[in-house]
Structure 1
Amino acid sequence: MRLRYVVADVFTDVPLAGNQLAVFTDGRGLDVATMQALALEVGFSETVFLLPPEADGDARIRIFTPRSELPFAGHPVLGAAFVLGGPLQRGAVALETGREIVPVTLERDESGRIVFGRMAQPVPAVTPFADTAPLFAALGIEGSELPVERYDNGVDHVFVALPSAAHVAALDPDPRALGRLGVAGVNCFAGEGARWTTRMFSPLDGVGEDAATGSAAGPLACHLARHRRILWGQEIVISQGGEIHRPSTLVARAEGDGDVIEAVEVGGAAVIVARGEFVLP
């Protein structure tokens, strides 16, 4: 069995930055155990398997961390859209995820190369995160400048606001203590206006810290708009990954009114950096 794959660096326009993603271009015939084993073998934060559509999408995708399958994740959707959009020669692709169908609009340069994509993400459910004391202790901080809340769009993210980008960069959390909280992603952020810096710690997925978290970028825009740090409909630019030498840039925008989220969009670039195949018996 020969399994072809593509490696893309996502949320960057230069190779060897952003968040790494392996996309297996034909996942037919693979069982869940084999997909999970391949994701562990690759070792990236997520690995995608492309499959024929079952609903109204252009393709179905399954997303695996080194430890488990996810119903939705941001950089796998965007990266898979870049990989699929090239041969399809389409201005948009719709990907069937475990959460819902996610449409991705693709922008091309004069040569026809895809240079940017924007995905309409699932609208997250928001709940308070009441047990903040062990969270702050695990992060080594005194508190958050905004209410700490949990956003679930298929991935469970908690958001903690810090005074400055320097405070974000200085974080040195206790991974075991974070893991005991049972949260998929702990996001610490700072900034103002249209520019924000964030770090995402993911103690449950076997990665530790994420280089670029598309599934958190949309909820961050929601969180900022709900707490009146930005306007609904305002696009923000998010910097992430510099502390682990994988600088990434994400853009996000949320539509809503008051505390009600109506729509979420996240965008970024991606570059394909490698192609290969696994040979299995």
Structure 2
Amino acid sequence: MKCKLVDVFAKERLSGNGLTIFYDYDWLSAQEMLSLTQEMRQFESIFISKKINSSSVRARIFTVEEELDFAGHPIIGLAAHLHDEHGTRNSHDWNIELNKKSVHVKTEVTEKYFKASMDQGRPKFLKTLNSDETEKVLHALNLHKGNLSNHPLEVITTGLPYLIVPISNGLENAKISIANFESLLESFHAKFVYVFDINQFEGRTWDNDGSVEDIATGSAAGPTAAYLHKHKLCIPDKSITISQGRFVGRPSEIEAYVQTQDDDITNIWVSGSVIKVADISFI
């Protein structure tokens, strides 16, 4: 079976967030896709059907623990792969069919890498945490009230619900420090956490047992951009650059753009560069 290794949110090889794209998943079971993802030991892998209809393709996304209905860097990386394999022009539009939603992605090619821009649609603001809930989250993340900005913790989704934790300092100390963190998130209707320094525009997130830190999280960039817009922490209708990955030695940049009409968010675009690293053949 053939697959491709790319680096997402990167302009140079061996930087950014690595992604394995597996071709022709149609004959694989969900357990086999999970096992292949575990073999590659990346935060996520993406599997695509061999049935590519014009500019549309069906895809499934797995972490080392489970299948996800949506994720950012796999879609960005897949769109670049589609342009590399099937593109005939400098720019293209692609439709990625996931389990529960369809994602529109635009791609363009440069001399060294591809750039992909994913439309995450309108955000949904699911919950604002109260003071007691905030205190529980801070304790779980090895943070304290002195690290917080003057803004609330909120759960926001553009496909995956993230608990946004806005801080003004102490990002280097953030970590998941309790055993039942996933249950805590579920009590707020969140899937993952994103700790975000509102001064440096830098974020961190992990798998829910805290053992693996993600390098660059496109699915968190949309909710974060929505949060920044809501609390007037960014300039409307201007690109936002979010940094991530510094603490794991893979500094990455994610570009987000909040599109508005009469100050109402109509779409959030998340963009990144993608560079091809290797072609792989499984025996």
Same fold at TM > 0.5: yes
Residues in 1 aligned to 2:203 and 2:267: alpha-carbon distance in whole angstroms: 21
Paired position in structure 2 for 1:108: 109
Deviation at 1:201, TM superposition (A): 2.4
CA contact 1:214–1:266 (8 Å) conserved in 2: yes
Question: CA offsets, 1:97-123, max 9 Å, x none?
Answer: 2232212111222x5x64311111143
Describe the SS at the equivalent of 2:26.
coil
Question: CA offsets, 1:175-234, max 9 Å, x none?
Answer: 525334234321111244xx6111112216x86311000001111111001011113322
Aligned counterpart for 1:190 among listed residues 197, 200, 206: 197
Paired position in structure 1 for 2:119: 120
Q: How does 1:43-192 map to 2 (within 5 A)?
A: 43-52=41-50, 58-90=56-88, 91-92=91-92, 93-109=94-110, 111=111, 114-130=113-129, 131-143=133-145, 144-145=148-149, 146-164=151-169, 167-174=170-177, 176-182=179-185, 183-192=190-199
**Residue 200 in structure 1 maps to residue 202 in structure 2:** no
CA contact 1:6–1:276 (8 Å) conserved in 2: yes
Counterpart AA for 1:64:
F
Residues in 2 aligned to 1:241 and 1:172: alpha-carbon distance in whole angstroms: 14
CA contact 1:53–1:96 (8 Å) conserved in 2: no
Residues in 2 aligned to 1:230 and 1:140: alpha-carbon distance in whole angstroms: 27
CA contact 1:99–1:154 (8 Å) conserved in 2: no
Residues in 2 aligned to 1:15 and 1:207: alpha-carbon distance in whole angstroms: 25
Paired position in structure 1 for 2:239: 235
Residues in 1 aligned to 2:180 and 2:2: alpha-carbon distance in whole angstroms: 38
CA contact 1:202–1:208 (8 Å) conserved in 2: yes
Describe the SS at the equivalent of 1:201.
coil
Describe the SS at the equivalent of 2:105.
strand
CA contact 1:72–1:153 (8 Å) conserved in 2: no
Aligned counterpart for 1:25 among listed residues 5, 23, 26: 23
Residues in 1 aligned to 2:202 and 2:277: alpha-carbon distance in whole angstroms: 26
Deviation at 1:262, TM superposition (A): 1.6
Deviation at 1:30, TM superposition (A): 1.1
**Residue 252 in structure 1 maps to residue 253 in structure 2:** no
% identical equivalent positions: 29
TM-score by length of 1: 0.88
Describe the SS at the equivalent of 1:44.
coil
TM-score by length of 2: 0.87
Counterpart AA for 2:49:
L
Describe the SS at the equivalent of 1:269.
strand
Q: Structure 1 residues 66, 258: CA separation in 2 closer, same or farther (over 3 Å shift)?
A: farther
CA contact 1:184–1:202 (8 Å) conserved in 2: no
More strand by share: 1
Deviates more, 1:100-109 or 1:42-51: 100-109
Describe the SS at the equivalent of 1:81.
helix
Paired position in structure 2 for 1:263: 267
Counterpart AA for 1:274:
A
Question: CA offsets, 1:229-274, max 9 Å, x none?
Answer: 1133221111100101111110001123688432110001011112
Q: Structure 1 residues 184, 175: CA separation in 2 closer, same or farther (over 3 Å shift)?
A: farther
Deviation at 1:275, TM superposition (A): 1.7
Question: CA offsets, 1:124-172, max 9 Å, x none?
Answer: 32122432222110112223321111112231211111114xx212324
Residue-pair matches, total: 270
CA contact 2:158–2:222 (8 Å) conserved in 1: no
CA contact 1:138–1:178 (8 Å) conserved in 2: yes
CA contact 1:255–1:264 (8 Å) conserved in 2: yes
Q: Structure 1 residues 57, 99: CA separation in 2 closer, same or farther (over 3 Å shift)?
A: farther
Residues in 2 aligned to 1:175 and 1:257: alpha-carbon distance in whole angstroms: 42
CA contact 1:175–1:208 (8 Å) conserved in 2: no
Q: Structure 1 residues 175, 108: CA separation in 2 closer, same or farther (over 3 Å shift)?
A: farther
Describe the SS at the equivalent of 2:205.
strand
